[in-house]
Chain A
């Protein structure tokens, strides 16, 4: 087990480093002078020059890169060009709110996706199976932002069951969570169904039934447990789609999370903030994938011997 963890970690470190570097490069190749976006319409050359010096933007790229890494190692992501607040503070303030949303969406998708998938697989090609798979396909194909707006229209504006936007108690998170979770619950339902059906015909299923175990026990303990690898893969992969979808969902529901922060700072061309949000999101994303990777070894001990 330890060997497995060490091996995975060694693969993980260069990716972290690469993500950091690519984020730096992305911001460096940006055409247009970030200083210009700070000073606005009226400026003179001397002020520009001074600002560039203050921000060390006139140093050669390797010096800037070195400083970027050094500061990053000390938890310093720079200051926002707009608010002058440290980027890390703002990002850490917004991130938990996105995690809340992603967590709620994940809950929606797991509850809905896995249960529909299991029930569908029990009687394949029944009306429930066919119906729910059509709904699932529609859920996969519908754009996240459109699903969100339709939920707002139906449950917010017409029925007035939920607030149309804002951040607060439990009632505020319901529509955004459904919006964000729809696509992945649809996908999860399909994957759960497919793997349940695949496992149904395995020898150990027949053995389990023939030794007289009750049906529910066979389904949960022998059939469902063995679908966990693909199911957990999907949940892990979908975490990335939550972070992407958060940009759309948060901008529709006015949710004060990292997605909206990223979008706002991009529209305001607040480069340190863009860099900070992109970097942090990517780091969280690859860490989640890393954890999922390790989980494989726990769920299926055969994997770590490969």
Chain B
């Protein structure tokens, strides 16, 4: 017998095992590469971009892609490649900050609802029902109209609109985890609610929440792009990909590259996070009820 006995095998831990499974998933790895490239580009934007993304050169406006300007120039003669590189920063910021807001709100309310049940649960869940009653983008547009349209508002608006999804996932997890014997044992030992929730319940609910967080980044990036496309998100001269498409569309006939490239950047980024999220879901637990899409 060359195989080690089961009790001699080293326990790998959930995250290491997940990584081993994830590594075999080509699509997920492709997604991870896109995400990694995006992060590198975003972090090192000043080093990577060939030109100043804000520098106006009217004599060089609407140049088609060429050796000096690989992706061409826009209506102010700004280098599109440099603006897309800086745009990666904005998309990453929006994705991470908005999803974190939604994660925190969702985890807090989801845990409260799942753990305490009864009226707390009822009120929180009915509120999420109401929030789900609004088509997401319309809700966002409404919020953006009410407040000053800028990136900070975008972070909070997207976070606020997307937490109910997270709360539902969290609640479902808490409901099943709190029935486990180790939780009951702690209750029997007289541990009070807060340490019990933080130490024993929340850590065991994280897997689907992390998947939802990854997908949430994709949908936050898409929402920001849509808002900026409508002129309700990032304001000029911020090089947000969505607003680049917005200004590019007026030159669709004469200079389609203004629209083409930022759109590809948005699509690739969203694709990357979606592929990675999909893979993560399958790797964590193929049988688990998981969020399947970013809205």
Contact = CB atoms under 8 A, between A and B. Distances in A.
Interface of A: 11, 14-15, 18-19, 22, 26-27, 29-31, 137-138, 140-146, 149-150, 152-153, 157, 187, 191, 240-241, 243-245, 247-248, 251-252, 262-263, 266-267, 269, 274, 278, 281-282, 285-286, 289
Interface string B271-288: 100110000000000000
Given A15-B126, A19-B134, A282-B133, 20 more contacts: A18-B130, A19-B133, A22-B133, A30-B146, A141-B268, A142-B270, A143-B229, A143-B242, A143-B270, A144-B226, A145-B225, A146-B259, A187-B293, A243-B135, A244-B137, A251-B230, A262-B138, A266-B142, A266-B232, A281-B134
Contact of A240 (B135, B146, B260): B135
Contact of A149 (B126, B141, B143, B249): B249
Interface of B: 126-127, 129-139, 141-147, 218, 222, 225-226, 229-232, 242, 245, 249, 252-253, 256, 259-260, 263, 266-268, 270-271, 274-275, 292-293, 295
B215 to A, nearest CB: 11
B69 to A, nearest CB: 20
A282 B275 CA distance: 31
A31 B252 contact: no
13 contacts: A19-B134, A22-B133, A26-B146, A30-B145, A31-B147, A141-B271, A143-B226, A146-B259, A150-B259, A240-B136, A241-B135, A243-B138, A274-B142
A197 to B, nearest CB: 13
Given A153-B256, A157-B252, A269-B145, A140 B274 contact: yes
A281 B135 contact: yes
A29 B271 CA distance: 36
A37 B136 CA distance: 26
Contact of A29 (B126, B141, B146, B295): B146
A29 B226 CA distance: 24
A30 to B, nearest CB: 4
A40 B57 CA distance: 36
A240 B225 CA distance: 19
Contact of A141 (B133, B146, B229, B274): B274
Given A15-B129, A31-B147, A145 B135 contact: no
A50 B260 CA distance: 51
A22 to B, nearest CB: 6
A141 B136 CA distance: 17
Ranked 10 nearest A-B pairs via Cβ: A146-B263, A244-B137, A18-B130, A141-B271, A266-B145, A141-B270, A244-B135, A30-B146, A243-B135, A19-B133
Contacts of B143: 26
B129 A137 contact: no
Contact of B145 (A137, A153, A274): A274
B118 to A, nearest CB: 17
Contacts of B144: 266
